[in-house]
Amino acid sequence: MTLRPAAARITWLVGGALLVLGACVLALVVGPTDIPRGGVLRESVDRLTPFAVDSGLSTTQESIVWNLRLPRVALGLLVGASLATAGATYQGVFRNPLADPYLLGVAAGGGLGATIAFINRWGDAQGAFDGVQIAAFAGALSSVAITWVVGVLGDRSRSPTSLILAGVAVASFFTAMQTFLQQRNAEDIRQIYTWFLGGLTTSGWDETLQLLPVAIVCVLVLAFSGRTLDVLAVGDEEASMLGLSVGRSRVVLVVVASLLTASAVAVSGLIAFVGLIVPHTVRLLFGSSFRAIVPMSILVGAGFLVLCDLAARTVLSPAELPIGVVTAFFGAPFFVVILRTAVLR
């Protein structure tokens, strides 16, 4: 018998990549405006590859493909991969299956930042960086930093439990502030609420290009951290005796995953469910080693969010559903099916 350590097998990675590609093609060719499918694909090849291809589309149609559909699909890929990878990392670092990327207060902090930005009309300014995005990013990272300080002050060993409890306390405090501000500024509630439900509305490529560098670096670091997460699974004491620098590893993983989440939240709002369900689905399908979970979560998260966004913008076309509603609506039953299949297997 050949001994092969746990890893994301090449066949799984290729299969996952093909599914992501399929989701992207589907999301590109389907939309409220009827554009010839072949033309959409030719235009995409022409724009994204060195090969010059005549798409045969009108200027308006070319603009729809290049300025609306492609950036939206690209943003869906990045946000989906980011949230799923961060969720898988949090579940490993905190040895908690209920952990999601918003565990340490990112959602509450990002939400407070966005609320402040909406109330002060910071989002109305023109430029590459939107005020709401900057405020949400700053709020999300601040909340994690405060959670970390509170958790370490409460327990110098920085145990996962103390950090989770600190996250609960900080999130509650930030949510209370958020609610207070919203009550005092009722005219902005609709706008704020829409942001809370998340969305991949884009203005050209700005959002995608803002997220791209952070996402690539952080996702790559986490993709190679699966083994470290497997070592952490045996508990701090044993992991330390195996030679892992537990404290340092936990700090690096939490910082990278939080940076990734905060960046995603800044451009897409609070998209629920992806960071929790995707890693679990991957675990049920591909085994419980993080060496497989993290890379497969990147692919499944990316493909899943692109498909959810496709549903969000087509189901009630021309109106759009908040993507957070779609991720939960389709994700929950899908997870139940996977769970049942895995249990019966």
**Which residues lie near another protein (CB under 8 A)?**
1, 3-7, 221, 224-225, 227-228, 230-231, 233-235, 237-245, 249, 283, 287-289, 291
Q: Of 18 and 220, which has the nearer Cβ to another protein? A: 220
Q: How far apart are CA 113 and CA 255, in angstroms?
A: 19
Q: Is the dihedral of CA 222, 223, 227, 230 positive or negative?
A: positive
Shortest reach from residue 254's CB to another protein, in Å: 15
Q: Which is nearer to another protein, 67 or 249 (CB)?
A: 249
Beta carbon nearer to another protein, 124 or 238: 238
Which residue's CB is nearer to another protein, number 7 or number 338? 7
Cβ distance to another protein smaller for residue 92 or 113: 92
Q: CB of residue 281 vs another protein: minimum separation in angstroms?
A: 14
Q: How far is the CB of 168 from another protein (least distance, A)?
A: 24
208-211: long-range contacts, CB 8 A cutoff, minimum separation 24: 208/71, 208/74, 208/75, 208/78, 208/267, 210/128, 210/129, 210/133, 210/263, 210/266, 210/267, 211/75, 211/78, 211/79, 211/82, 211/263, 211/264, 211/266, 211/267
**Nearest one of 266, 269, 273, 216 to 77, comparing CA atoms:** 216
Minimum distance from residue 234 beta carbon to another protein (Å): 5
CB 142 within 8 A of CB 259: no
Name the minimum Å distance from CB 295 to another protein: 11
